[in-house]
Structure 1
Amino acid sequence: MFNINYKSQHPIYEQIIDQTVLFLMEGVLQGGDKLPSVRELATSLGVNPNTVQKAYGELERRGYTENIVGKGTFISSSHQVEKDLAHQFKESLKEIFYEMSRVGFNSDYIQQIVISVLKEEEYVTDTKS
């Protein structure tokens, strides 16, 4: 499930965090899903268990996971995950819209593109235009 780039300058624990968040965004992981135990993940990745524990601790601090003593670490079913993901998507969209405006697209045209994509991909059935 997790792929670690051992040559990356990005710390391993952050790669675990980033991939977990990515799995949430892609729907691979959902609320209530159990993550591998610290020992299992550390063994499968060939890393120190403290590295995995650090990643799991940070995921819990951010509200993505819950640790249930004796049961394991689970993806949180709270709305905090949705709020954080929505915030990340919003920030990504801001960057895209900035680049579009930088090359000359006006806000009306950007809005038309967004509506067109939403309709085309059937994400929405009706929009106000």
Structure 2
Amino acid sequence: MEEERFPLENTRNIGIMAHIDAGKTTTTERILYYTGRIHRMGEVDDGAAVMDWMIQEQERGITITSAATTCYWKDYRINIIDTPGHVDFTVEVERSLRVLDGSVAIFCSVGGVEPQSETVWRQADKYKIPR
């Protein structure tokens, strides 16, 4: 039934990528809220973000593993992958990029472009992921 409502041509795999603490998980939470997938926005600092499901992620306030979820907008099914930003988990980002149709790159307005931002950008270039 799901395949009938949202055929493959109306399904998008989108990744959220950036350096640590740029706001990837916060952005994902907002997308889920505004698409009606969740009814309350969880905050990373409170350990209440839907995408940070591991206890270590909730305690540390960072994403350790890529987490996938689905939301719907108009006639589209959108699969979102929230990727880690810490340099130690770069392989998680690269693994996720292989399945994406596109990505959203987030940059901190205070810190600007940081080395990990450049790393994930190059990784996206490697797999020809539109941003």
Structure 1 length as normaliser, TM-score?
0.28
Name which structure has the greater RCO, CA cutoff 8 Å, separation 6+: 2
Higher helix share: 1
Higher strand share: 2
